[in-house]
Amino acid sequence: MIDESTLNKSKDRFNITDDSPTMKAVLTTGNGGYEKLEYRDVPIPKPAQGEVLIQVLAAGVNNTEINTRLGWYSSSVKTGTDALGGDDDESGRQKADGGWNEATPFPFIQGTDCCGKIVTVGPGADGSTIGSRVLVRSCSRTHGWDNLENIWIASDFDGAFAQFVKIAAEEVFPVNCDWTDAELGTIPCAYGTAENMIHRAKVTDTDHVLVAGASGGVGSAVVQLAKRRGARVTAIAGKEKMEAVQEIGADRVIPRGEDVVEALGEKSVNVVIDNVAGPTFDEMMQVLKTGGRYASSGAIAGPLVSLDMRVFYLKDLTLIGCTAWDKPVFPNLISSIEKGEIKPLLAKTFPLEKIAEAQQEFTKKVHVGKIVLIPPPLNTEQQELFGSEEGIWWNNDGRLTKSLTPGKKIP
């Protein structure tokens, strides 16, 4: 369970004292443009009861980080996220009420994707995990798996756009594969979101699945994960990206902008996975068969859609909103990686300090797959603390010290 200290929203947590060990991080200081991204030194967070401290090795860039900074989740925003042009001046688009569950806890550290290495553990956590390469589950259930209430790393508490991040040990999953750190950094948010939609829609090998926005991080993950289940997959992508989408397994690719009803016919697919929404929503309803399932966790082309209720009830359709991840989702992903059933789509990497450039590149939407940020290597002080398999701990006075024995936990 996420500890209250993880949800710490005190602005003082970023104040550096004389004996504070520090790290590089990107602070998002408020709603606005790239000027709200501040690359600076902050204290290394202290893992609390049941938590681990992770050295971040790679952190993917996602729509949600940009949306949160710009306040896109505000109900007053009517346009899609694809209206974000990747320009240098975004400040005019800010909305003060644009958080997920409540007001966004500015200033805070974003970064929803995390591939990293456990460098120490808090009280009650397993010290034998120190040194493990891990992925962090982006979405946490706050009241157990039978309750859909949830919080997200980098939206509700500090995330991975930093050299280190702390998180509850139960949200951390060791992964054994030959992928690079950057490739693993493409996985948590996009693939977790994709797997959750496929899981909720109960996709099987008897289904024909239509995937909108199939060249993006989530869409390309949906294509692979639906094929993993044996489904027939039709994807929608820009003409310049159609070949890349076919290469990851799509049985057919329809050019974006083409009328989907004309291309496929009415009542032609069992499942639609759609993070695009906007003006094409009605076409998605028309191509669903009677008893079809529609799942979504985003709306990059626009959050407001027109639904003909007669189509909805006469065809016995099921509309599935997908934010809270179900329990099997992340273990399924780890298994898929370790069995070689999916592959990463790494478009480009940037140093963490170049986050504004990375987000500009991201919003241009000319890439296929994911853009990933790489934090700087450990400095001399950090290497002395974390550069071996030994554990470290904080004294009662708050000073960070090398432990006397390997794997020692924080008392």
Q: What is the mean pLDDT of the chain?
A: 90
- Break the chain into its structural domains and give their ranges: 11-187+344-402, 193-321
Structure tokens at 330: 């992340």
Band of residue 409 on the pLDDT scale cut at 50, 70, 90: very low
pLDDT tens, position by position, 357-376: 999 999 998 999 999 999 99
Q: pLDDT over 70 for what percent of the chain?
A: 88
Q: Which of 81, 345, 341 is nearest to 219 (CA)?
A: 345
In Å, how far are 45, 237, 250, 319 from 170, measured between CA atoms?
A: 18, 36, 34, 30
Indicate whether 43 pLDDT > 60.
yes
Cα–Cα distance between 403 and 411 in angstroms, integer? Answer: 11
Indicate whether 167 pLDDT > 50.
yes
Domain 193-321 in CATH 3.40.50.300? The answer is: no
Indicate whether 403 pLDDT > 70.
no
pLDDT for residue 9: 75
Please compute the mean of the pLDDT values over residues 15-20 and round it to a whole number: 88
Cα–Cα distance between 188 and 181 in angstroms, integer? Answer: 12
> Mapping DSSP to helix (H, G, I), strand (E, B) and coil, where does residue 117 land?
strand
Question: Are the C-beta atoms of residues 31 and 104 closer than 8 Å to each other?
Answer: yes
pLDDT for residue 84: 52
pTM of the entire structure? 0.91
Indicate the range of 63-72, 136-145, 161-170, 388-397 predicted with least confidence: 388-397
Q: What number of other Cβ atoms are within 10 A of residue 156's Cβ?
A: 23
pLDDT for residue 88: 47
DSSP string, 379-407: -HHHHHHHSSS--EEE-TTS-EEE-SSTT
CA pseudo-torsion sign 308, 313, 318, 319: positive
Indicate whether 204 pLDDT > 60.
yes
Indicate whether 124 pLDDT > 90.
yes
Helical segments of 239-379, H only:
242-247, 260-264, 281-287, 309-314, 329-338, 355-364
pLDDT for residue 136: 98
Indicate whether 411 pLDDT > 70.
no
pLDDT for residue 410: 46
Please compute the mean of the pLDDT values over residues 3-22 and round it to a whole number: 82
Residue that wins the pLDDT comparison between 225 and 395:
225
pLDDT tens, position by position, 328-351: 999 999 999 999 999 999 999 999
DSSP string, 276-288: --GGGHHHHHHHE
pLDDT tens, position by position, 246-292: 999 999 999 999 999 999 999 999 999 999 999 999 999 999 999 99
Beta strand pairing status for 115-121 and 133-136? antiparallel
Domain 11-187+344-402 in CATH 3.90.180.10? The answer is: yes
Q: How many CA atoms lie within 13 A of 274 on its CB side?
A: 27
Dihedral of the alpha carbons of 289, 291, 292, 296, in degrees to the nearest 10: 150
pLDDT for residue 87: 52
Structure tokens at 27: 């602070």
